[in-house]
C-alpha cells in the first residue's frame, strides 16, 4: 500500500514568525492585524467552556468572516496578476489557494460540529475545531508567502 502521510502539524506561531518579515510594509498592516486576530482566537478559544458557546461563536464568526474576505482578496490578486505570471507560478498559486479553500471547508465542518455540540461533546468539538483552525492558519500563511514571493520576483524583473 502506498499511503503517503502528508503535512504534519507545525506550530502556528512559528509559521507566523516565518512569514512576518515579508509583510512588514505599511500596506500589509491589515494582513498583520488579521494574523494577530487569528492567532488570538486560537489562544482564547481554549479558555471558552461549554457555557460560553455564544461568545465562542461570536469570536469565530468574526475571525472567519475576516479570513474569508482576505481569501477573496488573494483570489482577486491572483486573477489580476494572472497575465504577468509564469506557468509555474500560476500552478503553484492555484494549488496553494485550492489547499487554502480545502482547509477553510474543513474548518467550517468542525465549526458546524461545534455549534451543534452538547455540553458533554463541547471539548471534543473544540479540539477538532482548534486543530482544523490551526491547519487553516498555517495554510493561509503559506499561501500569503507563495503569492508574495511571486509578486516580489515580478517586481524585481521589471
Angstrom distance (rounded) from CA 158 to CA 109: 43
Window contacting other proteins (CB under 8 A); options: 1-9, 53-61, 68-76, 83-91: 1-9
Q: Is 106 in the site for other proteins (CB under 8 A)?
A: yes
Give least dist CB 129 to other proteins, A. Answer: 9
How many Cα atoms are found within 13 Å in the side-chain-facing hemisphere of 120? 0
Buried b (16+ CB within 10 A) or exposed e, 75-97: eeebeebeeebeeebeebbeebb
Residue in 8, 21, 25, 26 binding other proteins, rule: CB under 8 A: 8
Residue in 74, 135, 136, 147 binding other proteins, rule: CB under 8 A: 135
Q: Which is nearer to other proteins, 24 or 109 (CB)?
A: 109
Q: Is 132 in the site for other proteins (CB under 8 A)?
A: yes
Count of residues near other proteins by CB under 8 A = 23
- Closest listed residue to residue 95, CA positions, set 31, 146, 152: 146
Amino acid at each position: 500500500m502506498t499511503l503517503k502521510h502528508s503535512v504534519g502539524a507545525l506550530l502556528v506561531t512559528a509559521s507566523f514568525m516565518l512569514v512576518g518579515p515579508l509583510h512588514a510594509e505599511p500596506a500589509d498592516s491589515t494582513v498583520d492585524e488579521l494574523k494577530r486576530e487569528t492567532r488570538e482566537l486560537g489562544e482564547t478559544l481554549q479558555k471558552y467552556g461549554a457555557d460560553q458557546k455564544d461568545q465562542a461563536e461570536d469570536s469565530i464568526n468574526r475571525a472567519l468572516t475576516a479570513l474569508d474576505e482576505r481569501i477573496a482578496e488573494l483570489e482577486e490578486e491572483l486573477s489580476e496578476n494572472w497575465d504577468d505570471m509564469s506557468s509555474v507560478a500560476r500552478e503553484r498559486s492555484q494549488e496553494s489557494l485550492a489547499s487554502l479553500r480545502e482547509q477553510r471547508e474543513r474548518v467550517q465542518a468542525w465549526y458546524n460540529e461545534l455549534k451543534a455540540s452538547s455540553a458533554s461533546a463541547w471539548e471534543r468539538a473544540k479540539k477538532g475545531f482548534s486543530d482544523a483552525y490551526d491547519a487553516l492558519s498555517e495554510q493561509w500563511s503559506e499561501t500569503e508567502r507563495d503569492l508574495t514571493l511571486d509578486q516580489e520576483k515580478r517586481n524585481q524583473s521589471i
